[in-house]
Amino acid sequence: MADPTENTMTSVPRKRAPAHQSTTLGNHKLHPSTMMMGYGFDPALSEGSLKPPIFLTSTFVFESAADGKRFFEGITGVRPGGAEGLVYSRFNGPDQEILEDRLALWEEAEDALVFSSGMSAIATVFFALVRPGDVIVHSAPLYAATETLIGRILGRMGVTFLDFPAGATREEIEAVIARAKAQGRVAAIYLESPANPTNALVDVEAVRDARAAVLGDAGDLPPIIIDNTFLGPLWAQPLRNGADLVVYSLTKYVGGHSDLVAGAVLGSKAAINPVRMTRNTIGTITDPHTAWMLLRSLETLELRMERAGSNAKVVCDFLSEHPKVERVGYLGFLDPGSRQHDIFTRHCAGAGSTFSVLVKGGEAEAFQLLDHLKLVKLAVSLGGTESLASHPAAMTHLSVAPARKAELGITDNLVRVSIGVEHPDDLIADFAQALAAV
């Protein structure tokens, strides 16, 4: 073994990828799926370990007092750009920083931050942006916890909101932003696309253009933030359509094994900086073990999402023809020429593997379907290797007022399904026997 007194090797990877690493091979641009195997990590910095170790430490040693000062200048915002080195695990850590580097590759984002959950990511973004008296504009529906955060928790701080339906036109969005502007400072425009659980798409380009039309195209514009959990990063990359910040529940497709909880925010350095400062203060960063598990998951992200997507198409084809199914809310079934189809062709590279099934009947029939599924597990969440089904109106969106649920199309006969990587024939057999009992 090397003499431990020799300072010839450090076990602390730095934020940036080692100099010999590149996103290209000659003139060939490497794909994100390839770079997930090693980008941002040099085995020579960790005793030759092929994979990054789990760095279970609360604090990091500085090589000099000047380093400590410089790192804290970045952490506290005295100098922009974040820390140049590792400081303390509430701020940063090797596993988290490698994970952030790799997440940014998928959407060609300048920067990324990881969080202890998707909701902690969303909350940190809002805490970084809003102040009493501000107005938030958002699409609808949203995940119920996000609606609760905006309407109840931020509402107690004097923040109000206005919303527009997910499929709204530019003119309709402009009208809502104009109303919000008349009420106060517009702090953020928050989107969720596809919407949970209806799968309705938001036209991000229309939102971008509406913001410019009402609030101008320069100066201190409210950022457009979008929850990209259902389709990203493989099938949708909203930064290309005009979003400023992209939010993820990494618990879902990115983690992909239903064994962790985490979140992320991606975007430009300018948009990320205030979020980073807030995360540093309130400590919503993910832990090193979870970050390490996500590094493992990223290596198979494309494979898992592609298999789940192809499975979903087969299952949806079966369900759409079943006599006990009223409708399947699947993005692959959008009517050509419709507004939703137009948004899909401009914004999406695939239809995803999470969709809604509207059973003929009401809550009783939906419950019968759920109770008779065998392979498909009755559980909330989505994006895992296993297939899941749940009843949003009675579960994830139970806290939403009945009138609001009716307005948003979250009906008693709606079942949300997330298809995994099982054999599609087996999934069809499971739905067939469960529907026979309805």
What separation in angstroms does the CA of 122 have from each of 103, 149, 200?
17, 9, 20
The H helix count followed by the E strand count for the chain is 14, 14
Query: Which residues in the chain come in under a pLDDT of 50?
Result: 1-20
Distance (Å, rounded) from C-alpha 344 to C-alpha 201?
7
**Does pTM top 0.85 for this prediction?**
yes
Which CATH superfamily includes the segment(s) 301-436?
A: Aspartate Aminotransferase, domain 1 (3.90.1150.10)
Answer yes or no: are the C-beta atoms of 402 and 288 closer than 8 Å: no
Return the CATH number of 118-250, one of 2.60.40.2380, 3.40.640.10, 3.20.190.10, 1.10.3860.10. 3.40.640.10
Q: Where, residue-wise, is CATH 3.90.1150.10 in the chain?
A: 301-436
Q: Where, residue-wise, is CATH 3.40.640.10 in the chain?
A: 118-250
CA–CA–CA angle 245, 58, 264 (5° rounding): 15
The DSSP secondary-structure symbol of 88 reads B
Residue carrying structure tokens 């259902």: 230
Q: What are phi and psi of 241, to 5 degrees?
A: -100, 0
- Those residues whose C-beta lies under 8 Å from the C-beta of residue 283, and which sit 6 or more positions away, are 90
| pLDDT, position 218 | 66
| pLDDT, position 79 | 82
| pLDDT, position 76 | 86
| pLDDT, position 2 | 41
Distance (Å, rounded) from C-alpha 366 to C-alpha 217?
47
Q: What are phi and psi of 95, to 5 degrees?
A: -65, -40
